[in-house]
């Protein structure tokens, strides 16, 4: 039996996990997560904030030195269009 996760399975698992987080987090709430050193998606990033905004889960790269697992409340002005 092969233990390799297929890309569609990984995508499905990510979508299910994001949906589960959307039930746990309140709007504008997030949590800091350290990125594994072997990550290919976020090669130059050490931390991200996973947060809920407008009923969707987002990932925001963070340069701040905040401990993993720290709960944060986001300033959503960062995400509004500035015309």
pLDDT given at position 32: 95
Taking residue 83's Cβ as centre, other Cβ atoms within 10 Å add up to: 3
3-state SS class at 19: helix
pLDDT given at position 39: 83
Q: What is the full per-residue pLDDT of the chain (83 aa) written as tens digits?
A: 455 667 888 889 989 999 999 999 999 999 999 998 888 877 888 999 999 999 999 999 998 899 999 999 988 665 555 44
Chain position carrying tokens 């905004």: 53
Contact (CB, 8 A) for 62 and 48: yes
Q: Give residue 28's region: left, alpha or beta (phi > 0; psi -120 to 50).
A: left
pLDDT given at position 11: 86
pLDDT given at position 77: 67
The two tokens of residue 40 are 């290919």
| Domain regions of the chain by residue span | 7-78
């Amino acid at each position: 039996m092969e233990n390799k996760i297929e890309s569609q399975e990984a995508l499905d698992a990510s979508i299910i996990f994001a949906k589960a987080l959307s039930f746990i987090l309140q709007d504008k709430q997030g949590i800091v997560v350290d990125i594994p050193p072997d990550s290919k998606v976020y090669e130059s990033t050490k931390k991200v904030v996973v947060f809920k905004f407008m009923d969707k889960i987002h990932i925001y790269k963070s340069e701040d030195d905040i401990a993993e697992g720290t709960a944060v409340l986001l300033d959503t002005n960062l995400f509004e269009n500035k015309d």
